[in-house]
Chain A
Amino acid sequence: GAGVSQSPRYKVAKRGQDVALRCDPISGHVSLFWYQQALGQGPEFLTYFQNEAQLDKSGLPSDRFFAERPEGSVSTLKIQRTQQEDSAVYLCASSPVGDQSSYEQYFGPGTRLTVT
């Protein structure tokens, strides 16, 4: 079956623009995660959904970042009034179980956001 897909793969935004990044998890996967990965660094947790419920958003860096998963499948990460420090790869991952601790996560290819 298909893996996790993300779109767009690349996004260039001018400072101050709003962007929306989409994630299509593996069908039937309960858990969905968003991460931010800077060049040469590991992923940094942003937020976690179990079905449509956002159970943890402690990693969102500011109130400019917003994520939703209204029907428990596709998720969108929205960044308002983008800043240069938002430039990074945004990774989405899904997992078939509701426990975020002990099961492997399946990652999408990421969206590389460049803010100019």
Chain B
Amino acid sequence: GQNIDQPTEMTATEGAIVQINCTYQTSGFNGLFWYQQHAGEAPTFLSYNVLDGLEEKGRFSSFLSRSKGYSYLLLKELQMKDSASYLCAVTDSNYQLIWGAGTKLIIKP
């Protein structure tokens, strides 16, 4: 079966750095997305990785290792508004997006 694993919940302090991990086992791989979802709102796109390595975009970076079936999202200089769920999603060989359950990130002052 297809599976995306992420921690259910993480807590971090305002101004700090946090790394949210995602491991996947899917039938094929055609890219990995990270989305942010605030409670009661729609997911919004953060990043897309299809090749191994680190993609940096402001305070957010995303890393991919296809051989390990592993990605992480790194958030720097955390702000209270970063409190949200972070969803990892993988495109499989049928070009269908398989979503993880999301990691709820709680930021404390």
A interface, CB within 8 angstroms of B: 4, 33, 40-45, 48, 56, 58-59, 91, 99-102, 104-110
Contacts and interface: CB of A to CB of B under 8 A. Distances in A.
A42 B42 CA distance: 11
Contacts of A41: 101-102
B105 to A, nearest CB: 14
A99 B31 CA distance: 12
B91 A101 contact: yes
Contacts of A107: 42-44
B57 to A, nearest CB: 12
A45 B101 contact: no
A53 B31 CA distance: 24
B100 A42 contact: yes
Interface in B51-109: 87, 89, 91, 94-102
| SS class, residues of chain A in contact with chain B | loop
Contacts of A33: 97
Contacts of B94: 56
B93 to A, nearest CB: 10
Nearest to A105: B45
7 contacts: A33-B97, A40-B102, A41-B101, A56-B96, A102-B48, A107-B42, A110-B42
Contacts of B100: 42
B33 interface: yes
Contacts of B45: 104-106
B43 to A, nearest CB: 5
